[in-house]
Amino acid sequence: MIIMKTDATDEDIRRVVAEIERSGLRADVSRGDYMTVIGPVGDERKLPFDRLATFPGVKEATMVETPYKLISREYARFFGEPGAHKTVNIGHVHMGNGEPVIIAGPCAVESRPQLMRIAEEVKKAGAHVLRGGVFKPRSSVHAFQGLGAASVEGAEEALNWLKEAGNAFDMPVVTEVRGESMVELVAKYVDIMHIGARNMYDQDLLVAVARQHKPVLLKRHFGASIEELLSFSEYIAAEGNKDIILCERGIVPMGKGKSYTRYTLDLAAVPVIHNETYLPVIVDPSHGTGRRDLIFDMSCAAIAAGADGLMIESHYNPSEALVDGPQMVTPDELKDIIDACRRVHKMVRKPRA
Shortest CA distance to 147 belongs to which of 107, 196, 108, 184?
108
Q: Among 197, 246, 269, 312, which residue sits at the site for ligand PEP (rule: CB under 6 A)? A: 197
94 contact choice in ligand PEP, Mn ion, none (CB below 5 to 8 Å, kind-dependent): none
Q: 275-304 mask for ligand PEP (x: CB under 6 A)?
A: ---------x--x-----------------
Which single residue brings its beta carbon nearest to ligand PEP?
Answer: 196
Q: Which is nearer to ligand PEP, 107 or 321 (CB)?
A: 107
Closer by beta carbon to Mn ion, 100 or else 285: 285
Name which of Mn ion, ligand PEP, none residue 15 binds, using a CB cut-off of 5 to 8 Å depending on partner kind: none
Q: Please check whether residue 246 is in contact with residue 281, taking contact to mean a CB–CB distance below 8 angstroms.
A: yes
Residue 249 within binding range of ligand PEP, rule CB under 6 A = yes
Q: Cα 215 to chain center, whole Å?
A: 8
CB closer to ligand PEP out of 96 and 133: 133
Q: Binds 219, which of ligand PEP, Mn ion, none (CB < 5 to 8 A, cut-off by type)?
A: ligand PEP
Amino acid at 74: E
Burial 190-207 (b: 16+ CB within 10 A, else e): bbbbbbbbebbebeebbb
Number of residues that bind ligand PEP (CB under 6 A): 11
Smallest distance from Mn ion to CB 315, Å: 10
b/e map 299-312, b = 16+ CB within 10 Å: bbbbbbbbbbbbbb
Nearer to ligand PEP, 97 or 199 (CB): 199
d(CA 291, CA 288): 9
Q: Nearer to Mn ion by C-beta: 39 or 285?
A: 285
Contact residues: Mn ion, CB under 5 A = 107, 324
CB 298 within 8 A of CB 285: yes
Rounded to a whole number of angstroms, the minimum distance from the CB of residue 324 to ligand PEP is 8
Between residues 70 and 197, which has the closer beta carbon with respect to Mn ion? 197
**In the complex, minimum distance from the CB of residue 312 to Mn ion, in angstroms, rounded to a whole number:** 10
Interface with ligand PEP (CB under 6 A): 107, 133, 137, 176, 196-198, 219, 249, 284, 287
